[in-house]
Amino acid sequence: MELLKPADGRKRDVPVISHGGSQTEVSARSSELHKVISLLEDPLTANLKERHLFVLKKLLNKNNNGFLLRELTGIARVLQICTQKVNEHPEYLLILCEALKLCRLPFLKERASDELDYAQDVTDFLSHLGYLMRVCDAEVRLNVIESVKSFYSCVPFNHQLDSMDNPTKPKSQTRLSKSCFSKYSLRFQQTSPGYRLKLLELSDLPRTLLLSMAALENQPALKPQLLRTLQTLSNSSDANCASILHARGAETICLHMNEPDPSGQVLPLSSEILCNLLGRGNKEEVSTQLSSLDCVLSLKEAFSYILQSASQQSDLQLRNDLLMIITVVAENPNSALMESLLAQQLVHFITLPEEKSPSCGAHNLGLTYKNENFKMKKMLLNLLIPLSKDLTALQLYEDERVMLSLLMLVRPPGVLSEHQPGSCHWSSIRQEELQLQALVTLTAIAPLMLNDYMSYQGNNYLLLLLDWCVESGASYFQSQSFHAREGKRNKKTLMLHCIRVLQSVTFQGVEFVNQDLCDQGAIHQLLEILMQMEARTYEDDEVAVEIMSDIQLLLSTLCETDLHRKELFGLQGAEMAIQFLRKGSSKFYSGLGHNKLLLSTVDCVWSGIVGCYQIEDYFLEKEGVFLLLDLLSTSPRCVHGVVLSTVLDLCDNPNTLPHLLSWRDGTGQTAPRLLLQLWREEEEDLGVSRNRHGGIVDPQRPLLNCFQLNESGLTFSSNKASLAVMEVSENLRAKIYFIFYYLGFQELPGLSTEDYVTLSIVKRYLDFKVGEVWEEISREVRRENVWLFSYDEEALTNICKASEDTARRVVEEQNHILEQRQKEDIRRETHFYTEIKSHRKQEALMAKSWDSYVSRTSSYKVLKEVKAHRESYSESTRPKVKDEEAVNRPAKHFIGHILAVESTGAKGPAGVRVKLGRTAIKAKTAT
Query: What secondary structure does DSSP assign to 700-732, as a single string?
Result: T-SS--HHHHHTTT----TTS--HHHHHHHHSS
| Residues 901 and 912: beta-carbon distance below 8 Å | yes
pLDDT in tens, 679-737: 999 999 988 889 988 899 988 888 888 877 766 656 656 666 777 888 888 889 999 99
| 98 exposure class (CB count in 10 Å sphere: 0-12, 13-18, 19+) | buried
Answer yes or no: do 741 and 603 share one domain.
no
| 64 exposure class (CB count in 10 Å sphere: 0-12, 13-18, 19+) | buried
* Domain count along the chain: 3
Highest mean pLDDT among 352-366, 563-577, 902-916: 563-577
Answer yes or no: do 586 and 705 share one domain.
no
Q: Find out whether the peptide bond into 193 is cis, omega within 30 degrees of 0.
A: no
Instruction: Using the CB atoms, write b or e for 393-422: b if 16+ within 10 Å.
Output: bbebbeebbbbbbbbbbbbbeeeeeeebee
pLDDT in tens, 39-92: 887 787 777 878 888 888 888 888 888 899 999 999 999 898 888 888 888 888
Full DSSP string of 864-919:
HHHHHHHHHHHHHHSPPP-SHHHHHSPPEEEEEEEEEEEE-S-SGGGGEEEEEEEE
Q: Looking at residue 53, what is its pLDDT?
A: 87
| Residues 363 and 348: beta-carbon distance below 8 Å | no
Look up residue 166 and give its amino acid. Answer: N
Q: Which domain holds residue 543?
A: 521-663
785 versus 557: the higher-pLDDT residue is 557
Using the 3D structure, point to which of 811, 827, 843 is the last residue of a domain. 827
- Cβ atoms < 10 Å from Cβ of 540: 11
Measured over the CA atoms of residue 302, residue 305, residue 307 and residue 310, the dihedral's sign is negative
Is residue 327 one of the residues assigned to a domain? no
| Mean pLDDT along residues 126-147 | 92
Is residue 601 one of the residues assigned to a domain? yes
Residue of 201, 203, 212 lying closest to 133 (CA atoms): 212
Dist. CA 715–CA 784, nearest whole Å = 10
Answer yes or no: do 718 and 642 share one domain.
no
Residue 107, CA distances (Å) to 98, 144, 180 in order:
15, 16, 18
Dist. CA 581–CA 391, nearest whole Å = 44
Is residue 305 one of the residues assigned to a domain? no
Dist. CA 155–CA 614, nearest whole Å = 84
Answer yes or no: do 716 and 810 share one domain.
yes
Is residue 874 one of the residues assigned to a domain? no
Answer yes or no: do 546 and 659 share one domain.
yes
| 292 exposure class (CB count in 10 Å sphere: 0-12, 13-18, 19+) | middle
Answer yes or no: do 536 and 579 share one domain.
yes
Answer yes or no: do 633 and 782 share one domain.
no
Dist. CA 261–CA 803, nearest whole Å = 88
Q: How confident is the model at residue 663 (pLDDT cuts 50, 70, 90)?
A: very high
Is residue 863 one of the residues assigned to a domain? no
Q: Name residues whose C-beta falls within 8 Å of residue 274's C-beta, 6 or more positions apart in sequence.
A: 250, 253, 254, 286, 290, 325
Cα torsion at 738, 739, 741, 743 (round to 10°)? 180
Using the 3D structure, point to which of 173, 202, 231 is the last residue of a domain. 202
pLDDT at residue 361 tops 50:
no
Answer yes or no: do 37 and 136 share one domain.
yes
Look up residue 524 and give its amino acid. Answer: H
Is residue 590 one of the residues assigned to a domain? yes
Q: Looking at residue 155, what is its pLDDT?
A: 42
Answer yes or no: do 568 and 714 share one domain.
no
pLDDT in tens, 527-548: 999 998 888 767 788 999 999 9
**106 SS3 class:** coil
pLDDT in tens, 838-891: 999 999 889 988 888 888 788 888 888 888 888 887 878 776 655 545 555 555
pLDDT in tens, 430-460: 888 999 999 999 999 999 999 999 999 999 9
Cα angle 97, 266, 204; round to 5: 50
In 39-140, DSSP assigns E strands to 108-109
Answer yes or no: do 607 and 710 share one domain.
no
Q: How confident is the model at residue 462 (pLDDT cuts 50, 70, 90)?
A: very high
Residue of 312, 209, 314 lying closest to 267 (CA atoms): 314
**190 SS3 class:** strand
| 265 exposure class (CB count in 10 Å sphere: 0-12, 13-18, 19+) | middle
355 versus 779: the higher-pLDDT residue is 779
pLDDT at residue 178 tops 70:
no
Look up residue 399 and give its amino acid. Answer: D
Q: Looking at residue 925, what is its pLDDT?
A: 44
Is residue 337 one of the residues assigned to a domain? no
For 509, phi then psi, to 5°, come to: 75, 20
Dist. CA 687–CA 727, nearest whole Å = 13
Dist. CA 693–CA 680, nearest whole Å = 11
Answer yes or no: do 618 and 760 share one domain.
no
Mean per-residue pLDDT over the chain, rounded = 83
Is residue 278 one of the residues assigned to a domain? no
Answer yes or no: do 712 and 624 share one domain.
no
